[in-house]
Amino acid sequence: MMSPKGGINRREFVKGVGGAVAAGIGMPFVLASSSRGENGAISPSERITLGCIGAGSQGTGNMNAFMRMADVQVVAVCDVDREYSINGGGEQTFGREPARKRVERYYANGSSTGAYKGCAAYNDFRELLARGDIDAVTVCTPDHWHGTISVAAAEAGKDIYCEKPLVNTIAEGKAVRDAVGRYKRVLQTGSHERSNDSVRFACELVRNGRIGKLHTITVNMPNNDPHHLQIMRTNQPQPVMPVPEGLDYDMWLGPTPKAAYTKRRSHFWWRFILDYGGGEMTDRGAHIIDLAQFVNDADKTGPVEISGAGKTAPGGGLFNAFMEYNFECRYANGVRLVGSSKEPRGLKIEGSDGWIFINIHGGRLEAWPESLLREQISPGEIHMGRSPSHQQNFIDGVRTRQQPFASVEVGYRTATICHLVNIAMLTGRKLKWDPDKEVIIGDDEANRMLSRPMRSPWHL
């Protein structure tokens, strides 16, 4: 298919580079001036068309970020809830209809050029994926849907921006990685802290030996926010409630076991119920542990030993994720990753000659000696690259077919550690992990916990 100017259009370019990328050929992409409309505007044929699956607070935030990009066009949204409100509504109203209205309002205000056909809204992600005019999708659902939707998106030929943690089980991670590789897709995990300039600078300091030999990474993941405290105060059995009008609750449950509806099982609170999430370990832990992997140059591997102990919220109620914990992971290179629910939130990277602390969120750095933060990285040293934003880094990957900062392998390896720590705490045993074969050595019970049964008809 040829563009009106006689060149190959953007969609055909993205499809055509798959074989070249598989052969290891880098193909930078630059929009030619002939591809742009009047006044340098990007022509409709050169935009990345995007569908947004999951329209809660995080999904809406990502949708807004992509919508502001001149070379991206949001054309569809999907959520199993038509509309719901948090804290009284207004800008705290989410679901597929508020998302559709936000998109159409944005483009109606002159933020789009060319013939915009409006934004479609779907209850079922499979309808969105069936559209041939969508290049990429965001997956911003609860964690228990990440793996299934990402595999389906790859099979449908879509590039994928999937929120962290990439998956809710290690087996799902393997399936997503395999599908992304098989169908030659680009996937960015939503571990946006990795794109902070300060974080990338800290990694450069470590990789270039400024703190000497790296030996310990200490991660702090406190559960002291108001919602954590509320869980620990009110974790009693929850009453069965009528399913709210507009919520497809069976679809919300998806591959997880059938369970009666109660308000705190779904929006936001699901992350502290192990059927749907992994607690703080996979919530902000997926950011902090991801940065530990990054600075340790371990994005393609993982620790070889994992141990931990933790406590869940008292009361025996709905929330069964760990709220207090201490854990340790040991890597084959001798580096120790030590974690707890202590403050302040972030990670301390210790070497023989100094240390750096990265605050989460925002990436503010502290260091000893303080002069580390004034270091210059010379041209001949290791550079980690920069991007204006995590979302822009994904779009750049879609165009160039180069791996983004938080590729499928990065997201899978980080999620694996989060889940292994939870498994170590659930079993009460030290785990020996083979990061090459991706199995737990000598523990059949723990190995069975790498996957979970999926409720019919869902499967990977």
Q: What is the DSSP string of 102-132?
A: HHHHHIIIII--S-----EEESSHHHHHT-T
Q: Within a domain: residue 4?
A: no
Instruction: State the Cα–Cα distance between residues 399 and 49, nearest whole angstrom.
Output: 12
Nearest to 5 by CA among 39, 32, 40, 41: 32
CB 211 within 8 A of CB 353: yes
Our CA angle for 142, 144, 147, nearest 5°, is: 110
pTM as predicted: 0.91
Task: Let me know whether 326 and 338 are in one domain.
Answer: yes
292 vs 290: CA distance, rounded Å: 5
Domain presence at residue 341: yes
What CATH number has the domain bearing residue 69?
A: 3.40.50.720
Q: Could you tell me if 230 and 93 lie in one domain?
A: no
pLDDT of residue 254: 98
Looking at the structure, do residues 109 and 176 belong to the same domain, yes or no? yes
Q: Any bridge partners for residue 413, and if so which?
A: none
Take residue 67 and report the two structure tokens written for it. 């919508």
Contact 207, 351 (CB under 8 A): no
Helices and strands (H and E) in the chain: how many: 14, 17
Whether 24 maps to a domain, the answer reads: yes
Q: Structural domain of residue 32, as residue ranges?
A: 10-193
- Is 221 inside a domain boundary? yes
**H or E element at residue 261:** none
- What pLDDT is stored for residue 116 in this prediction? 74
3-class DSSP state of 68: coil
Same domain, 162 and 209: no
Do 201 and 325 fall within a single domain? yes
Tokens of 154: 């790859």
Residue 459 lies in a domain: no
Looking at this protein, which amino acid is placed at residue 150? S
Identify the CATH number of the domain in which residue 310 sits.
3.30.360.10
Task: Name the domain count of the chain.
Answer: 2
55 vs 58: CA distance, rounded Å: 7
Query: What percentage of residues in the chain have a pLDDT greater than 70?
Result: 88
pLDDT, residue 42, reads 66
Residues 328-357 as b/e (b if ≥16 CB within 10 A, e otherwise) read bbbbeeebbbbbbbeeebbbbbbbeebbbb
Within a 13 Å sphere around the CA of 382, how many CA atoms are in the beta-carbon half?
14
Last residue of a domain, one of 148, 176, 193: 193
Q: Measure CA of the first residue to CA of the last residue in the chain; give whole Å.
A: 33
Q: Do 178 and 240 share a domain, yes or no?
A: no
Query: Which residue stretches of the chain have pLDDT < 50?
Result: 1-9, 13, 16-40
For residues 279 and 312, membership in a common domain is answered with yes
Question: Are 238 and 323 members of one domain?
Answer: yes
Cβ-in-10-Å burial (0-12, 13-18, 19+) of 121 comes to buried
Spell out the residues 6+ positions from residue 90 whose beta carbon is closer than 8 angstroms to its own: none
pLDDT at 337: 98
Given 169, 193, 217, the domain boundary residue is: 193
Contact 59, 80 (CB under 8 A): no
Of 193, 221, 239, the domain-final residue: 193
- 153 domain residue, yes or no: yes
pLDDT of residue 43: 67
The reply to whether 60 falls in a domain is: yes
pLDDT for the residue 195:
98
| Same structural domain, 274 and 239 | yes
Same domain, 174 and 266: no
Is residue 132 assigned to a domain? yes
Tokens representing residue 213 in the block: 């030999």
**For residue 90, with 0-12 CB atoms within 10 Å meaning exposed, 13-18 middle and 19 or more buried, which class applies?**
exposed
54 and 186 in a single domain? The answer is yes
Q: What is the pLDDT of residue 225?
A: 95
- My answer on whether 155 and 247 are in the same domain is no
Mean pLDDT of the chain: 91
